[in-house]
Amino acid sequence: MKEELTCITCPLGCRLVAERGEDGSLAVSGNRCPRGAAYAREELLAPKRVVTATCRIAPASGTRRDEAAPRRVPVKTSAPFPKERVPELLAEIYRLELALPVARGAVLLADALGSGVDLVATRSVE
Ligand code: SF4
């Protein structure tokens, strides 16, 4: 079975064709460099995504009480995370209640779901 995809590793955007062998192998063509073949293999066999979301702030946390005070903390994974487990990770993220202050880059969930990927804050919130 042939599958077509576009390599997004660099701006050239090579059109890749991947063909699965009956033994489970994957032959990739159309790539101008080895990174395209690696991209196709990961995308078709074990796709990953950087996950971005926001986390709740614990009630009565933080020093600001005005209307403009932040209500959530923006977060992202420190590296691409297995796509099939993203819903499970989002459920975990939405269960969190963060105590302020939170510093940009702070690890909020280490080794999320045993993936080896951390969840980090992308903005400092006081
Ligand atoms: S295959 Fe290589 S040259 Fe082509 S888009 Fe991917 S990284 Fe760029």
pLDDT tens digit sequence for 20-68: 988 888 999 999 999 999 999 999 999 999 999 999 998 876 666 666 6
Radius of gyration of the CA atoms of the chain, in A: 19
Please write the tens of the pLDDT for every residue from 81-109: 999 999 999 999 999 999 999 999 999 99
CATH number of 48-121, picked from 3.40.50.800, 2.40.100.10, 3.10.530.10, 3.10.580.10: 3.10.530.10
Domain edges within the chain: 2-45, 48-121
Q: What is the pLDDT of residues 106-120, one digit of tens each?
A: 999 999 999 999 999
Residues framing ligand 1 (Cβ under 6 A): 7, 9-10, 12-14, 31-33, 35-36
Q: How far apart are CA 42 and CA 45, in angstroms?
A: 5
Helices of type H across the chain: 34-45, 86-95
Ligand 1 mutation pick, 33, 41, 42, 43, max ligand atoms within 8 A of CB: 33
Element (H, E) at 18: strand 15-20
How far is Cα 30 from Cα 51, in angstroms, rounded to an integer?
A: 29
pTM of the model: 0.79
pLDDT at position 65: 62
